[in-house]
């Protein structure tokens, strides 16, 4: 997997331009794939596609399987005659600035409801058959998720662990009553998933047709406020009141002196092992359907994970606990014919993590922004790379290259200058060139770095809530000149299909 020289761009669909306040799975998505092709890129990397919850973070989703209804393209609904021009005209005007998730969701809700009712009343027999087949094929997670969303809305959007006891503990009679009472709203959420998956699979098919592979993202942990935690409490470290005993995070690191306290419930790996990790098998299967390659965020948690008592306010007082290790990946190998997995091996990486990664041949990650820390030697400087890795100028958790360079110490800037042999003019392009020229099989650049944007375009600042995940590109950010420049660099460093064929 990923054993030939290639490259790609990291851009989450929400960051695409468009008329409705957020990037969607419509025209702009297909145009971006065309841009990738013109730029001779073979990979499109995205963040998790799930429905976002707390802080609008794609790493805190309401489901490990569901898609984000915010990404449903309204113009495609219009094309399918499920909504009207009048429906779209009734929406407020959105500029092309950062995503305002609350305003976007409020504006979209009545339009999506109209599409739902139109579908119920006028769908063809073929469409109804496709819908029934979808409900059947996704029933393992879809029924719980749809009911979870319906109850959540009835409960004023409070998290499930604050619902009344009978709903919180899934009392059968209470659940049955809720299913009857909330049947229309439950069906609405099933319909949204049907539309999302249909639109996304059309995107994936278009990418495949143009020989662009999609790299998706799985967070190791699931959100505490998710249908997964509510429907499967026995798989998590919960007390008798279904509250966490310990939660996930990482110890103090590059990003935070007090560590990162994520608040995600921890898995009961011992119980998951008893049914051959069936919950994880289903999760991996869903994601292999959505993506060509899966990046597992916080891969090190499979070797050992940082467990923090639920009462703690920071992540400092955690302990390392052994993860499921090779037993887990052996089970995955027995279930799936191939495991196209990227290991996010950043942070505190120990020999057991490296051994787990290398045993299965998973490529790890190298971040160029980490390479020029003049205070210590590190594995991120390009002369230390092996071929089986992916080099990034930065990730969604980093500042942009331009922003990083502006805030870097004088010593770090000098080290970057000396290594790159550049005065720092167009530092973002210097970093792209350095990544593309490296021995790493794969090189990825976030779109913000390709555009040379500053800290205002940063996607996420770890350890903070608010103001994250909302950057959007503008319609003019994908010119042919930029595609041609990246294509030339890609050919020069042997990362395009044509350049590789010439060297064989």
List active site positions: 297, 344, 397
Q: What is the DSSP string of 243-297?
A: -BSEEEEE-S-SS-TT-EEEEEEPB-HHHHHHTTTHHHHHHHHHHHHH-SEEEEE
Point out which residues pair with 309 in neighbouring strands.
Answer: 246
What CA–CA distance (Å, rounded) separates 98 from 458?
A: 11
For residue 327, the number of C-alpha atoms closer than 13 Å in the C-beta half-sphere is 11
The number of residues making up the chain comes to 504
What CA–CA distance (Å, rounded) separates 60 from 263?
A: 10
For residue 142 the two structure tokens come to 């879809």
What CA–CA distance (Å, rounded) separates 467 from 251?
A: 24
Please check whether residue 99 is in contact with residue 460, taking contact to mean a CB–CB distance below 8 angstroms: no
3-class secondary structure for 5-71? CEEEEECCHHHCCCCCCCCCCCHHHHHHHHHHHHCCCCEEECCCCCCECHHHCCCCECCCCCCCHHH
């Amino acid at each position: 997997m990923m054993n030939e020289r290639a490259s790609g761009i990291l851009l989450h669909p929400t960051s695409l331009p468009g008329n409705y306040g957020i990037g969607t799975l419509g025209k702009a998505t297909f145009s971006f794939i065309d841009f990738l092709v013109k730029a001779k890129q073979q990979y499109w990397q995205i963040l998790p596609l799930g429905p976002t919850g707390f802080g609008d973070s794609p790493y805190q989703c309401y489901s490990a399987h569901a898609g984000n209804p915010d990404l449903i393209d309204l113009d495609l609904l219009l094309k399918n005659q499920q909504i009207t021009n009048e429906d779209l005209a009734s929406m407020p005007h959105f500029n092309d600035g950062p995503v305002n998730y609350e305003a976007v969701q409020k504006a979209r809700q009545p339009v999506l409801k109209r599409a739902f009712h139109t579908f119920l009343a006028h769908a063809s027999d073929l469409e109804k058959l496709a819908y029934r087949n979808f409900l059947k094929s996704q029933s393992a997670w879809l029924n719980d998720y749809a009911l979870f969303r319906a109850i959540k809305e009835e409960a004023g959007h409070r998290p499930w662990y604050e619902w009344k006891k009978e709903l919180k503990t899934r009392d059968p009679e209470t659940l049955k009553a809720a299913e009857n009472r909330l049947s229309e709203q439950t069906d609405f959420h099933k319909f949204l998933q049907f539309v999302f998956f249909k639109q996304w699979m059309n995107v994936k098919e278009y990418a495949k047709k143009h020989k662009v592979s999609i790299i998706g993202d799985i967070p190791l942990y699931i959100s505490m406020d998710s249908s997964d935690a509510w429907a499967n409490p026995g798989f998590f470290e919960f007390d008798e009141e279904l509250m966490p005993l310990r939660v996930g995070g990482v110890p103090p690191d590059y990003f935070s002196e007090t560590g990162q306290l994520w608040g995600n419930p921890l898995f009961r790996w011992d119980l998951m092992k008893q049914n051959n990790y069936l919950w994880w098998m289903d999760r991996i299967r869903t994601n292999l359907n959505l993506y060509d390659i899966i990046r597992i965020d916080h891969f090190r948690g499979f070797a050992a994970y940082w467990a923090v008592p639920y009462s703690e306010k920071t992540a400092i007082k955690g302990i390392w606990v052994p993860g499921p290790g090779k037993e887990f990946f052996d089970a995955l190998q027995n279930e799936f014919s191939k495991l196209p997995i990227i290991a996010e091996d950043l942070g505190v990486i120990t020999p057991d993590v490296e051994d787990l990664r290398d045993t299965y041949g998973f490529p790890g990650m190298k971040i160029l922004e980490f390479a020029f820390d003049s205070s210590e030697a590190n594995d991120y400087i390009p002369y230390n790379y092996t071929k089986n890795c992916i080099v990034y100028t930065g990730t969604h958790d980093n500042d942009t290259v331009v922003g990083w360079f502006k805030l870097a110490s004088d010593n770090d800037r000098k080290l970057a200058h000396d290594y790159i042999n550049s005065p720092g003019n167009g530092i973002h392009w210097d970093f792209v060139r350095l990544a593309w020229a490296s021995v790493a099989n794969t090189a990825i650049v976030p779109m913000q770095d390709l555009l040379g944007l500053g800290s205002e375009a940063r996607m996420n600042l770890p350890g903070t809530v608010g103001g994250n995940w909302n950057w959007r590109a503008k319609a003019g950010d994908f010119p042919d000149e930029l595609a041609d420049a990246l294509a030339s660099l890609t050919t020069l460093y042997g990362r395009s299909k044509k350049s590789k064929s010439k060297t064989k």
